[in-house]
């Protein structure tokens, strides 16, 4: 009986040692599982690159979101609160061509690049000067309209401004982040940044600034006899520039808009819209 128990105990010990040895030779399941996510992660960029284009995203969403400011004659509201102007009308026509709705969003012009890159808007379409900063930060269209930065002052004072030297003692109002602000800085003028170009004109009207630097196209529409600022007048121009529309870098929507510009120029619809706002002489052939 004792021999039988001893044999039984020895067998149990041998079985236990074999079981321990087998578990030490087996591959660790955790190592196999850890390899799978690493491979999946490596494939992720390819999936991202294969995602739809910017233009496809706009069409798929069914709406083109356009960043603007209140800037007559490019983007401004009529008596019913609807956005009109050369840029607004052209943007609406482009959206119609794409088969989507359009939404206009007023932005802080100084933050236009931020608004675009955050996805808050699809493009900046608001008489935007094609500066080096803009062209390096956005996917820009071809230039479609020429413009200048003009000095506007009270009518009696404007006549006395015949050169940049006459501006040395004047205080200017400019739109923050605009080509007008850049012109003032380049000329070494004393200036105060304000929210938009309309606010710059209001500063001059109120007498809190001697003059403003705004887009000449806006000055033509808003300054002088029969306009909202009949007591103000345009003086000298500081710069010559061109307008373009900006999308996010790499966006294929810019090329689509270039095609639309070319077609609308060829069929005369771009000129027809420009004539509505007295801008036909400023269009750049497409």
Per-residue confidence in pLDDT tens, the chain, 286 aa: 433 334 334 444 434 434 444 444 444 444 434 333 333 333 333 332 335 699 999 999 999 999 999 999 999 999 999 999 999 999 999 999 999 999 999 999 999 999 999 999 999 999 999 999 999 999 999 999 999 999 999 999 999 999 999 999 999 999 999 999 999 999 999 999 999 999 999 999 999 999 999 999 999 999 999 998 999 999 999 999 999 999 999 999 999 999 999 999 999 999 999 999 999 999 999 9
CATH number at residue 246: 3.40.190.10
This prediction's pTM:
0.77
Contact 137, 73 (CB under 8 A): no
> How many domains is the chain built from?
2
Do 261 and 129 share a domain, yes or no? Answer: yes
User: Is there a single domain that holds both residue 108 and residue 221?
Assistant: no
| Domain limits for position 131 | 54-146+242-282
| Alpha-carbon distances, residue 95 vs 58, 66, 256, 260 (angstroms) | 10, 10, 11, 10
Whether 236 and 160 map to the same domain: the answer is yes
**Pair 173, 236 in one domain:** yes
Residues 225, 181 share a domain: yes
Same domain for 190 and 125 = no
User: Both 219 and 173 in a single domain?
Assistant: yes
> Same domain, yes or no, for 134 and 259?
yes
- Please give the Cα distance from 232 to 249 (Å, whole number): 40
**Is 4 within the bounds of a domain?**
no
Question: Residues 70, 178: one domain?
Answer: no
Q: Does 6 map to a domain?
A: no
Do 96 and 208 lie in a common domain? no
- If asked whether residues 94 and 159 sit together in one domain, one would say no
In terms of domains, do 200 and 271 share one?
Answer: no
C-alpha–C-alpha distance, residues 170 and 239, integer Å? 18
Q: Is residue 32 part of a domain?
A: no
């Amino acid at each position: 009986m004792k021999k039988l128990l001893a044999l039984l105990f020895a067998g149990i010990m041998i079985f236990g040692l074999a079981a321990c040895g087998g578990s030490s030779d087996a591959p660790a399941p955790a190592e196999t599982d850890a390899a799978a996510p690493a491979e999946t992660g490596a494939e992720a960029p390819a999936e991202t690159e294969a995602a739809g284009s910017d233009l496809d995203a706009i069409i798929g969403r069914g709406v083109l979101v356009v960043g603007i400011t209140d800037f007559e004659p490019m983007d401004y509201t009529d008596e019913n609160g609807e956005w009109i102007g050369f840029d607004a009308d052209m943007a609406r026509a482009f959206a119609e061509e794409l088969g989507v709705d359009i939404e206009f969003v007023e932005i802080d012009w100084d933050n236009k690049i931020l608004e675009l890159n955050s996805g808050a808007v699809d493009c900046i379409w608001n008489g935007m000067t094609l500066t080096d900063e803009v062209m390096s930060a956005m996917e820009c269209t071809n230039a479609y309209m020429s413009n200048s930065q003009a000095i506007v002052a009270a009518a009696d004072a404007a006549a006395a401004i015949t050169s940049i030297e006459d501006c040395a003692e004047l205080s200017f109002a400019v739109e923050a982040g605009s080509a007008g602000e850049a012109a003032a800085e380049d000329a070494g003028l004393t200036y105060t940044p304000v929210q938009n170009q309309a606010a710059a004109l209001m500063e001059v009207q109120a007498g809190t600034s001697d003059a403003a630097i705004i887009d000449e196209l806006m000055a033509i529409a808003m300054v002088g006899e029969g306009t909202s600022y009949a007591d103000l007048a345009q003086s000298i121009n500081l710069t010559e520039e061109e307008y373009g529309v900006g999308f996010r870098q790499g966006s294929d929507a810019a090329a689509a808009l270039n095609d639309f510009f070319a077609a609308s120029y060829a069929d005369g619809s771009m000129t027809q819209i420009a004539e509505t706002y007295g801008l036909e002489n400023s269009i750049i052939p497409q």
